[in-house]
């Protein structure tokens, strides 16, 4: 069994630990229901990542930005040639779950409670592959570019991101209207309180970009080749690959 190391770099939380834990568990439970129902098309995104990793002929180091509980990586990485996994997240409770999910993994595991850019910059050598799912869209456009620049500097092969995507010419308000009209009936398995959580999160935190902008950001960050690999059936989530 490979030991899992959690490295603590983030400042202490300003809220009580129990309150933070209760809030995390409530939100994470709702998110997990969406994942379990494959409402966000995680499975095909994961399959495409798995295929890309299996095409790497040598062993590789993998950086998982905003790794959450790493449950998807528990399924994807063991059948690849991954030798080292770095999970980075600002949520300490999520990293505790990741530690349990990756216990016994056939590769070295390090979990960093730290800012994404700082954690990547501290690596003694570049990761071969970087991955981020449903996290970068919380940043402003300039902040997205800054993060992708850091990823480009610290990645030797390629980066893949899976993020909410605007339709061409769509405003944020139009995106919110489309999100509600499509997903409220489709996600009928959520309780009223859970839908309120999701709606509040999307309204206050989601800053999606068009596919064209996601690709442009990759070019501006310094990646040599960029491509959209997949758009989920609802048209809300796109998978993008940036090659160094």
Q: Using CB atoms within 10 Å of the CB of residue 211, give its burial: 0 to 12 exposed, 13 to 18 middle, 19+ buried.
A: middle
Query: What is the structure's pLDDT at 2?
Result: 46
Q: Is 117 among the domain residues? A: yes
- pLDDT-above-70 percentage for the chain: 89
Say how many domains are in the chain. 1
Query: What is the structure's pLDDT at 7?
Result: 64
The distance in angstroms from the start CA to the end CA of the chain is 33
Q: Is 201 among the domain residues? A: no
- For the segment 116-136, the average pLDDT, to the nearest whole number, is 92
Query: What is the structure's pLDDT at 112?
Result: 93
The overall pTM is greater than 0.95: no
The per-residue pLDDT for range 207-222, each reduced to its tens digit, is 999 999 999 999 999 9
Pair type for strands 225-231 and 155-166? unpaired
The per-residue pLDDT for range 231-243, each reduced to its tens digit, is 999 999 999 999 9
Q: How far apart are CA 114 and CA 150, in angstroms?
A: 14
Phi/psi at 125 (nearest 5 deg)? -145, 155
Cβ neighbours of residue 236 closer than 8 Å, sequence gap 6 or more: 164, 165, 179, 182, 183
The per-residue pLDDT for range 36-91, each reduced to its tens digit, is 999 999 999 999 999 999 999 999 999 999 999 999 999 999 999 999 999 999 88
Query: What is the structure's pLDDT at 122?
Result: 86
- Give the chain as a 3 state SS string: CCCEEEEECCCCCCCCHHHHHHHHHHHHHHHHHHHHCCCCCHHHHHHHHHHHHHCCCCCEEEEEECCCCCHHHHHHHHHCCEEEEEEEECCHHHHHHHHHHCCCCCCEEEEEECCHHHHHHCCCCCEEEEEEECCHHHCCHHHHHHHHHHHHHCEEEEEEEEEEEECCCCCHHHHHHHHHHHHHHHCCCCCHHHHHHHHHHHHHHCCCEEHHHHHHHHHHHCCCEEEEEEECCCCCEEEEEEEC
- For the segment 9-31, the average pLDDT, to the nearest whole number, is 59
Q: Is 129 among the domain residues? A: yes
Q: Is 16 among the domain residues? A: no
Q: How far apart are CA 130 and CA 123, in angstroms?
A: 12
Q: How far apart are CA 199 and CA 205, in angstroms?
A: 10
Q: Is 33 among the domain residues? A: no
Residue 129 domain boundaries: 4-10+39-169+208-243
Q: Is 231 among the domain residues? A: yes
Q: Is 130 among the domain residues? A: yes
- For the segment 134-151, the average pLDDT, to the nearest whole number, is 95
Name the residue with higher pLDDT: 29 or 157: 157
- Residues belonging to the chain: 244
Give the dihedral sign, CA 170/173/178/183: positive
Q: Are 145 and 217 in contact (CB under 8 A)?
A: yes
Query: What is the structure's pLDDT at 91?
Result: 87
Query: What is the structure's pLDDT at 16?
Result: 40
- For the segment 92-120, the average pLDDT, to the nearest whole number, is 92
Q: For residue 9, what pLDDT band results from cuts at 50, 70 and 90?
A: low
Q: What is the CATH number of the domain that holds 114?
A: 3.40.50.150
Q: Is 125 among the domain residues? A: yes
């Amino acid at each position: 069994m490979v030991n899992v190391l959690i490295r603590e770099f983030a400042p202490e939380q300003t809220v009580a630990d129990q309150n933070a834990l209760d809030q995390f568990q409530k939100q994470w439970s709702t998110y997990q229901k969406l994942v379990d129902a494959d409402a966000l098309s995680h499975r095909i995104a994961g399959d495409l990542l798995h295929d890309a990793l299996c095409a790497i002929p040598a062993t590789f180091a993998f950086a998982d930005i905003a790794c959450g509980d790493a449950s998807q990586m528990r399924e994807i990485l063991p059948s690849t040639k991954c030798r080292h996994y770095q999970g980075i997240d600002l949520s300490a409770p999520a990293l505790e779950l990741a530690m349990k999910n990756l216990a016994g993994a056939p590769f070295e595991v390090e979990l960093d409670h730290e800012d994404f850019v700082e954690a990547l910059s501290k690596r003694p050598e570049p990761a071969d592959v970087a991955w981020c799912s449903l996290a970068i869209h919380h940043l402003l456009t300039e902040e997205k570019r800054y993060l992708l620049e850091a990823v480009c500097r610290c990645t030797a092969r390629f980066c893949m991101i899976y993020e909410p995507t605007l339709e061409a010419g769509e405003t944020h308000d139009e995106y919110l209207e489309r999100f509600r009209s499509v997903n409220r009936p489709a996600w009928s398995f959520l309780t009223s309180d859970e839908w309120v959580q999701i709606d509040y999160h999307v309204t206050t935190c989601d800053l999606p970009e068009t596919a064209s902008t996601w690709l442009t950001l990759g070019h501006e960050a310094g990646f040599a080749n960029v491509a959209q690999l997949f758009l989920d059936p609802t048209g809300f989530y796109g998978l993008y690959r940036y090659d160094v």
